[in-house]
Amino acid sequence: MHLLPLLALLLAACTSVEDRDAPYLVVLGTAQDGGFPQIGCEQAPCRAAHADPCLARLVASALVVDPRSGKRYLFDATPHLPQQLELARGHAGPDPEAPGRPPLFDGIFLTHAHMGHYTGLMHLGRESYATENTPLYATEKMGAFLTGHGPWSLLFHAGHLEHVPLVPGEPVRLAQDLTVTAFLVPHRPEFSDTVGFLIEGPERAALFLPDIDKWERWDERIEDWIARADVALLDGTFFDEDELPGRDMDGIPHPFIVESLARFADLPAEERDKVRFFHLNHSNPLLVPGTPARERVHAAGMHVANDGEVHDL
């Protein structure tokens, strides 16, 4: 069996949630758009992950599940969607005996038009699952990109997806006590704008923010958004500026984790404890257990997110 399908099956066996009667979030992936190990990578961590499925990671994504209604919602459709569907097995979903091609998700929320965040939609078209009328929540610009360009436009013309416009700042109500609010962030706008999501449940809230350029380029304070959440999944793409020798890091801006550690250092311990870095590039030393980089994050009172972890809402 290929490495990533095996990883998904192993994680699914460990993360099925039983007897849960309130909404929750499942982390379906924690790697940057190319996944880990990444194509063509010959570095030692990548080779180790090729050899050991337990070290591999799927591309950053999440699933929000409401067991009261049996509904579930996908956050970002990644190239690893087939494996992540296996990871989502047991977390609500369509009745396997249902006729036709029932939606695999009751809605899909997209952050932006970069490779790792929307290209999994290809698995929902006629060449693969051929889902029926799945609501796709995306901003006006993101929706125009998808509906106005092939092959993505075929998904809408054929009735597989239905664009539901997202208005940043306006909550989308999934249940009386479960909402999703998009907020705009600065990030390379080649094809669309970029949003993060605040997911608010009956008792707890989660922040989903896989991509942003730099904290200081945002006209809002990330600390204020962390304060509104109980768990904050934050952009941890690169650990520091020395991570990609020979690359101009200004062309791929993200908050370096060392910058985030310094910025959050004066937050109260309970606020720092909310932070879980994800969207990790294949070069990021946080991918390797026991590294000094990992120890530095833990010593700072923060965390590295893992594929398959579950958070109550």
Give tens-digit pLDDT for 265-285: 999 999 999 999 999 999 999
Domain assignments of the chain as residue spans, ordered by start: 3-312
Q: How confident is the model at residue 208 (pLDDT cuts 50, 70, 90)?
A: very high
- Farthest CA pair distance, the chain: 55
Between the alpha carbon of residue 105 and those of residues 41, 88, 132, the distances in Å are 33, 10, 10
Residues 248, 229: Cα–Cα separation, whole Å: 33
pLDDT computed for residue 101 by the predictor: 84
Q: Categorize the per-residue pLDDT at 1 as very low, low, confident or very high, splitting at 50, 70 and 90.
A: very low
Task: Tell me the pLDDT tens digit for each residue of 143-191.
Answer: 999 999 999 999 999 999 999 999 999 999 999 999 999 999 999 989 9
Q: Model confidence at 18, in pLDDT bands (50, 70, 90)?
A: low
pTM over 0.85: yes
Distance in angstroms (rounded) separating the CA atoms of residues 194 and 197: 10
Q: Provide the sign of the torsion angle of the four alpha carbons 219, 224, 228, 230, taken in this order.
A: positive
What tokens does 221 get? 């304070």
The reported pLDDT for the residue numbered 45 is 84
Task: For strands 134-139 and 172-175, give the pairing.
Answer: unpaired
Give pLDDT, residue 110.
98
pLDDT exceeds 70 at position 12: no
Model confidence at 13: pLDDT above 50 = no
Q: How far is CA 155 from the centre of its chain?
A: 22
Q: Are 310 and 17 in contact (CB under 8 A)?
A: yes
C-beta separation of 34 from 116 below 8 A:
yes
CA distance 121 to 36: 20
- For 110-148, write each residue's pLDDT tens digit: 999 999 999 999 999 999 999 989 999 999 999 999 999
Q: 3-312: which CATH topology? A: Metallo-beta-lactamase; Chain A (3.60.15)
**E strand or H helix at 19, and its extent?**
none
